[in-house]
Amino acid sequence: MAVYTHVTPAEVQPLLHALGLGTLELLEPIASGIENTNYFVTTGQGRWVLTLFERLQADQLPYYLELMRHLAGQGLPVPMPVAHPQTGALVHALAGKPAGLVSRLSGRSLDRPGPAQLAQLGTTLAGMHRAVEGFPLRQPNLRGLDWQRQAARQVAPYLDTASAALLAQELALQEAFRRDQALGLPVGAVHADLFRDNTLFDGAGEQARLSGVLDFYFAGDELLTYDLAVVINDWCVDLDSGALQPELAQALLQAYQAERPLSPAEQAALPVLRRGAALRFWLSRLADWHLPRPASLLTPKPPQHFERVLRQAALQPPTV
């Protein structure tokens, strides 16, 4: 997360008081991330993460926070949002922005996870996909095709001819896929941004145990297989070339399928969904890079990586 909105201890304390969380001991801005403003909050009663939502509207937020509560309530390693003790609301207000406060989980993200970590992730992701069967709220993926069409128009002037052609071709492919082939594939409330930096592990090396799945603020009703494609593109590709690392993908898929077997139609859709997921993050990184929002702490991520992932995914035979 970046920091777009600064808050002082004096501004945060009344919210903590209203939520019954005691006296603020430490308020630390979190520099990593892109979308929202985040602070670590420590009181005598515990540790939390405060998020001020910069682009999402208050009426969109219950979906994300209720989803986190639903998953955490089913024993998944997901931050639990704090409800207002009188109203039960999960969405609060601070510095003129809608805000959320969730439990702070232990661990740190891994730069170079191995097959053992991919297997844990596969089990957890399948658990999340099974758990959302009973989740009652509905909200579309806000980074779906409508957003992608608009973003493509905005970033196209910054692309060279070859990249612009790739963008047009891949957008057309996804339009056709969603129109003709996606119907009937299972849909649910998915994370849709489950990158390594949104996952925490306790311990190091082979022993590292998955302790947290964070940052549900791109979640939406989507194809479950799309969620898997997002994960493969971040966790199971070579960071220099963007090429698939089959042993990591295999560890992920084997563990996932032990909990939630993919149907033949889902398996067939995975390669094209990998291209769709690479396109989505190429576009958002291009937009963040070329059309940045003012923020005092923000490190945009290089878009070229996802262009490489996309080109590599387009070369893969249709068997992930």
Site for ligand ADP, rule CB under 6 A? 1, 30, 32-36, 38, 49, 79, 102, 104-105, 109, 197-198, 212, 214-215, 217
Minimal distance in Å, beta carbon 143 to ligand ADP?
Answer: 13
**Min. distance of Cβ 241 from ligand LJ64HWYM in angstroms?**
17
Distance of CA 157 to the CA centre of its chain: 27
281 binds, among ligand LJ64HWYM, ligand ADP, none (CB under 5 to 8 A by kind): ligand LJ64HWYM
CB-wise, 57 or 86, nearer to ligand ADP?
Answer: 57
Contacts of 147 (CB under 8 A, 6+ apart): none
Does residue 171 contact residue 81 with C-beta atoms inside 8 Å? no
Instruction: Report helix angle 304-315 to 161-180, nearest 10.
Output: 60
The CB-of-120 to ligand ADP minimum distance in angstroms stands at 17
Nearest residue (CB) to ligand LJ64HWYM, 215 versus 307: 215
**What 3-state DSSP class applies to 224?**
helix
Minimal distance in Å, beta carbon 164 to ligand LJ64HWYM?
20
Tokens of 291: 């059309």
- 118: partner contacted, choices ligand LJ64HWYM, ligand ADP, none (Cβ within 5-8 A by kind): none
Q: Which of ligand LJ64HWYM, ligand ADP, none lies near 301, with the C-beta cut-off 5 to 8 A by kind? A: ligand LJ64HWYM
We find the least distance from the C-beta atom of residue 61 to ligand LJ64HWYM, in angstroms, to be 15
Between 34 and 270, name the residue whose CB sits nearer to ligand ADP.
34
How many whole angstroms separate alpha carbon 218 and alpha carbon 192? 6
Q: Which is nearer to ligand LJ64HWYM, 177 or 195 (CB)?
A: 195
| CB of 108 vs ligand ADP, minimal distance in Å | 7
285 binds, among ligand ADP, ligand LJ64HWYM, none (CB under 5 to 8 A by kind): ligand LJ64HWYM
Least spacing, CB of residue 1 vs ligand LJ64HWYM, in Å: 6
CA atoms of 35 and 33, how far apart (whole Å): 6
Buried b or exposed e, range 288-298, using 16+ CB within 10 angstroms: beeeeeebebb
What letter does residue 172 receive in the DSSP assignment?
Answer: H
Binding partner of residue 195 among ligand ADP, ligand LJ64HWYM, none, CB cut-off 5 to 8 Å per kind: ligand LJ64HWYM
Q: Which one, 69 or 191, has the nearer CB to ligand LJ64HWYM? A: 191
Task: Please list, in sequence order, all residues whose beta carbon lies within 8 angstroms of the beta carbon of residue 274, skipping any fewer than 6 positions away.
Answer: 229, 232, 233, 313, 316, 320
Q: How far is CA 27 from CA 46, 49, 108, 292, in A?
A: 12, 10, 19, 26
- Side-chain half-sphere CA neighbours of 196 within 13 A: 15
Nearer to ligand ADP, 217 or 235 (CB): 217
Q: Which of 42, 38, 48 is nearest to 6 (CA)?
A: 38
Sign of the alpha-carbon torsion through 128, 133, 136, 137: positive
Alpha-carbon distance of 264 to 50, in angstroms, equals: 42
Q: What does the binding site for ligand LJ64HWYM look like in residue numbers (CB under 6 A)?
A: 33-35, 193, 195, 198, 215, 281, 284-285, 301
**Shortest distance, position 167 Cβ to ligand ADP, whole Å:** 24
